[in-house]
A and B are shown apart, each in its own frame.
Chain A
Amino acid sequence: MSCFALDEERFRLCCRLLLQRSDQLRDGWSWNVVQGSEEGYLKKTVLRSDSELHATPTAEEQQREQSAAAPEGIRGHSEDDDDEDDGACTVLESSRQALQYEYHVLYSCSYNTPVLYFRAFTLEGRSLSLEEVWSSVHPNFRLRLQESPLDTITQQEHPLLGQPFFMLHPCKTEEFMKPLLQAAVDQNRPVNYVLSWLSVVGPVVGLHVPLQYCETG
């Protein structure tokens, strides 16, 4: 096993360190154990306003994306004034809605990596569909992720709770963590695998890791 793989013991240690810092920063992470087993997972709940979800891509960006995706024949239409009004309208309407996101970090013994599971609800308790989740991912991420042969965000059974969750597939994790960990080794500085990984994958689905985590606390 390479030194870049994460075994379960080190996963636990990384989580403990992350939790200590989260407590200091009041960032809301907690450790949850599964009844009748010694296994557990990190959990954090975040309230996201829908305006935040849609604010990132500007109307201009969205339009550019739309016209790029549209077939030749109808490309001209999206530059109408009408369409711009429509765009503004959507943002206004959706800004009234807030969504509750629940993020879980689990350990995968098959891939020797952490895995991010999440689910999202409206305030009325309706759970978001996979399409709705994809539409909340920033277009820059979305295009890159959907190029991958294996859909990167899929609905999967939570392996500890047995309930449907969305999951960012872990099969590429070791690949993108390698250079990051190598750099830390080269510069002889300590690195928290779980924290670094979370700061890479979290933002894709709206989970931000404050920079203060990396300041010594």
Chain B
Amino acid sequence: MADDKDVLRDVWFGRIPTCFTLSQDEATEREAEPYYLLLPRVSYLTLVTDKVKKHFLKAMRTEDVEEMWFEYEGTPLKWHNPIGVLFDLHASNTVLPWSITVHFKNFPDSDLLHCPSNSVIEAHFMSSIKEADALKHKGQVVNDMQKKDHKQLWMGLQNDKFDQFWAMNRKLMEYPTEEGGFRYIPFRIYQTTSDRPFIQKLFRPVSPEGNTHTLGDLLKAMYPDALTNDGEQKRYQVVIHGIEPLLETPLQWLSEHLSHPDNFLHICVIPAPSD
């Protein structure tokens, strides 16, 4: 079980300094100053940007305002991925603060999901937890929970309450000792080189021979190009929560400690900086 509580705290309280700027295309009545915010890595863009919206609306006429959306260097940011994943995937190895452009019109229907209210984020979040539990415990843990337990998970995330969230989430992290881990590890591997949003397949934490599977084993099976062969120059970085964990790290440990609150281990494979 999750004994390394410090790690859980570090992951939960990870922040990204961000500068929001209104898009040049937006019509304003007066000049809109940039807005600075520390974004929680484990949350969702549309969940933590009420203040950003309020700030820019002051400079705009209401008739010019449609659904708010975000963009980084020409890429619309998918709010349904955790903030930390968006940053690691698109903006690793760049200078801080992270510079995000805010739009209020021309919503890119073909790229982004609509997010008309927080209940949409809640449904998305709970659906991820449900799917992760289907992989880990055939859905038995999440189905045995009551509605108020589900609410506790969501409220914990929404209100940034670490203890409230983990009091319930630890149940989702349990497994029978004799099995050495979950049934399957809920993971997603992201990369920017194809349109395909992520790789997600079945992968067990322990091999049929009883050996512990590591992060390296997972990548070897799912995305061998991400690994550097002997004598080769490193082409890719494998990033989780802004760090490069050792490839020898057991996958089960990563799943328990470095998963996002949605219970998925989100892994970004990005080009190594050339220097």
Which chain A residues have a beta carbon within 8 Å of chain B's beta carbons?
Answer: 34-37, 109-111, 127, 129-130, 149-151, 154-157, 159-164, 169, 171
A sample of 4 more A-B contacts (CB under 8 A), given A110-B200, A159-B197, is A110-B131, A155-B114, A159-B200, A164-B110
**17 A-B pairs in the complex with CB atoms less than 8 angstroms apart:** A35-B194, A36-B196, A110-B186, A110-B200, A150-B130, A154-B127, A155-B114, A157-B80, A159-B197, A159-B198, A159-B200, A161-B195, A161-B196, A162-B195, A162-B196, A163-B111, A171-B130
Question: Which residues 173-221 in B have Cβ within 8 Å of A in the complex?
Answer: 186, 194-198, 200-202
Bound Cα distance A182, B91 (Å)? 51
Contact indicator B139/A127 (Cβ below 8 Å): no
A154: B residues at CB distance < 8 A: 120, 123-124, 127
Bound Cα distance A130, B67 (Å)? 15
Bound Cα distance A3, B64 (Å)? 56
Question: Which residues 52-85 in B have Cβ within 8 Å of A in the complex?
Answer: 78, 80
Chain B minimum-CB-distance residue to A155 = B113
Give the interface size class of chain B: 20 to 34
Contact indicator A157/B202 (Cβ below 8 Å): no
* B47 on the A face (CB < 8 A): no
Chain B minimum-CB-distance residue to A34 = B196
A156: B residues at CB distance < 8 A: 113, 124
Given the interface contacts A109-B202, A150-B127, A157-B197, does A164 sit within 8 Å of B112 by beta carbon? yes
B112: A residues at CB distance < 8 A: 164
Given the interface contacts A110-B134, A163-B111, does A36 sit within 8 Å of B194 by beta carbon? yes
* B147 on the A face (CB < 8 A): yes
- Chain B's interface: helix, strand, loop or mixed, by majority? loop
Which chain B residues have a beta carbon within 8 Å of chain A's beta carbons?
Answer: 78, 80, 109-114, 120, 123-124, 126-127, 130-131, 134-135, 139, 147, 186, 194-198, 200-202
Contact indicator B114/A129 (Cβ below 8 Å): yes
Contact indicator B123/A157 (Cβ below 8 Å): no
B130: A residues at CB distance < 8 A: 150, 171
Contact indicator A37/B196 (Cβ below 8 Å): yes
Closest 3 CB pairs of A and B: A162-B197, A110-B131, A110-B134
Bound Cα distance A159, B110 (Å)? 14
Bound Cα distance A149, B127 (Å)? 11
Chain A's nearest CB lies how many Å from the CB of B86? 13
A171: B residues at CB distance < 8 A: 130, 134, 139
Contact indicator A111/B196 (Cβ below 8 Å): no
Bound Cα distance A150, B127 (Å)? 8
Contact indicator A164/B109 (Cβ below 8 Å): yes
A161: B residues at CB distance < 8 A: 195-196
Bound Cα distance A154, B80 (Å)? 13
Chain B's nearest CB lies how many Å from the CB of A145? 14
B202: A residues at CB distance < 8 A: 109
Chain B minimum-CB-distance residue to A129 = B114
Chain B minimum-CB-distance residue to A131 = B116
Chain B minimum-CB-distance residue to A2 = B138
Bound Cα distance A160, B126 (Å)? 21
Contact indicator B110/A163 (Cβ below 8 Å): yes
Bound Cα distance A37, B223 (Å)? 11
